[in-house]
Amino acid sequence: MDDPKKPESFEEEAEAFQEDPAPPTPEGDVEEAGKEGEENPWREKYIRLLADFDNYRKRMAREQEESRKFANESLLKAFLPILDNLERALFHFGKVSSPSPELKALADGVKLTEKQFLELLEKNHVTRVPAQGSVFDPNVHEAMGFSPSEGFEEGAIVDVYQQGYMMQGRLLRPALVTVAQKKEEQSGS
């Protein structure tokens, strides 16, 4: 049996193609489905499918942006112990009472290296977590101990053992700190 709609030649097929309206768009399908009646189950499924796909597309775009934004996170985190060691070296150079010219030149080189590390971190949106003298925040600080202190309010950070760093609002490493606590009064009874 021949299909009555099937064209017999290429010319007839071309004419039929020119007579057909433009291919339906998703919005056009939704409007047409709405015209047919509210009880069309395919219309609702189609709308949900479009919404799900749009949400998926947006979620993938967000995840790609997050991935790009934090792509260097592990590398920058690996550099932090090196920066800590440079800071420790500078701290100990500062304790030398009368450094020789060679030791002073070495300290200057370490200071320049530290400065370059800090500039590298800044270019990659890495900032230090405020610590010394600020109020303890368990989200960005890790308490290593408590110290009774008269010069600080309770809950203030007294000492910083290791600097903490954040990258674009995300914690790379918490600051290791000592937190002030009230001195317990001794009873004389």
One digit per residue, the tens of pLDDT, for the chain of length 189 reads 455 555 555 555 555 555 545 555 555 555 554 555 556 788 888 999 999 999 999 999 999 988 888 788 888 889 999 999 999 999 988 888 888 899 899 999 999 999 999 999 999 889 999 888 888 888 999 899 888 877 778 888 888 899 999 998 889 999 999 998 877 654 444
pTM of the model: 0.61
Here the tokens at position 46 are 């189609």
What is the second-level CATH architecture of the domain 72-181?
Answer: Roll (2.30)
CA 55 to chain centre: 21
End-to-end CA distance of the chain: 114
Name, in order, each residue with C-beta under 8 angstroms of 117's C-beta and a sequence gap of 6 or more.
Answer: 79, 82, 83, 86
